[in-house]
Amino acid sequence: MPKLCINIDHIATVREARKTIEPDPILGAKLAIEGGADGITVHLREDRRHINDRDVLLLSQLLCHSESFAKTQDDISNSVLFTLEMAATDEMLEIVSKIKPGLITLVPEKRQELTTEGGLNVTGQKKYLTEYLEKLHKKNLTISIFINADKEQIQIAKEIGADFIEVHTGPYAENPNDKELSTVKEAIEFGKSIGLKINAGHGLNYQNTAAIAKLPDIEQLHIGHSVISRAVIVGIKEAVREMKLLAS
């Protein structure tokens, strides 16, 4: 049974639509945890279009570093994973060196995209990423790479020092058939065979998640937009509970 990590970016998207203080992603994170989330995931983008520095700081304090919060929330700091998605930039290196999230997921990033459009091209920037991962590891940080279901890319991710990969499930989510599911399965199997830990995510929703969750060797599912969309209708606790059932 993979752990379910809820991406709360789009709570912040609603907030930023009015440039106000609500809805608060921190409260959303707490409610997601009450609903059964095993982890909270956010993407701190260069343009800060949704999640901002304040959100990341507070989440790191609540989930990673706050003894008082842990005592009042059944010690969730020891059981709830905080994942920060980010581009491999100097600015982000400085930020994570201070907040030390439980997991860093390196993703490609373009200002004009609505959402991440594909996995990180590790073969095209092997030297740079090797050096970047070395800097992260020196800070005792754990690193995942969001990557397409491509064996060459996965092999290079291993060679440059990734601890995890997150297999990009977008093509399957857009066209959920046996061929796309098999592609994801083969990528997971290959990554596992060369010593990587495996996560999966992108585009997963209440119709297509169950088949992915049944695949062996997935450590974590990272799901956001569909859960937050559902929460608008039924509330975030119920939305998370429903997804948790599908992933179990």
Choose the catalytic residue: 43, 50, 168, 222. 43
Q: What Cα–Cα distance (Å) separates residue 174 from each residue in 7, 202, 213, 229?
A: 19, 10, 17, 17
Least confident of 21-35, 57-71, 155-169, 216-230: 57-71
**Residues in Cβ contact with 233 at an 8 Å cutoff, skipping those fewer than 6 apart:** none
pLDDT tens per residue, range 82-126 = 999 999 999 999 999 999 999 999 999 766 655 566 789 999 999
Q: Is the pTM of this model over 0.85?
A: yes
Choose the catalytic residue: 10, 50, 168, 202. 202
pLDDT at 242 over 70: yes
Q: Please tell me the predicted confidence (pLDDT) of residue 123.
A: 94
- Catalytic: 202? yes
H/E stretch holding 166 reads strand 164-168
- Catalytic: 168? no
Q: Please tell me the predicted confidence (pLDDT) of residue 237.
A: 87
Average pLDDT over the chain reads 91
pLDDT at 235 over 70: yes
- Catalytic: 159? no
pLDDT tens per residue, range 61-71 = 999 754 433 33
Q: Which long-range contacts (CB under 8 A, 24 or more apart) does 84-87 make?
A: 84/41, 84/42, 84/43, 84/44, 84/56, 85/7, 85/41, 85/42, 85/43, 85/44, 85/146, 86/43, 86/44, 87/45, 87/46
pLDDT tens per residue, range 162-211 = 999 999 999 999 999 999 999 999 999 999 999 999 999 999 999 999 99
**Residues in Cβ contact with 132 at an 8 Å cutoff, skipping those fewer than 6 apart:** 88, 93, 106
Q: Please tell me the predicted confidence (pLDDT) of residue 71.
A: 37
Choose the catalytic residue: 85, 166, 180, 219. 85
Domain ranges of the chain: 3-246
Between 234 and 228, residue with greater pLDDT:
228
Helix (H, G, I), strand (E, B) or coil at 49: coil
Instruction: State whether CATH 1.10.10.60 applies to domain 3-246.
Output: no
pLDDT at 77 over 70: no
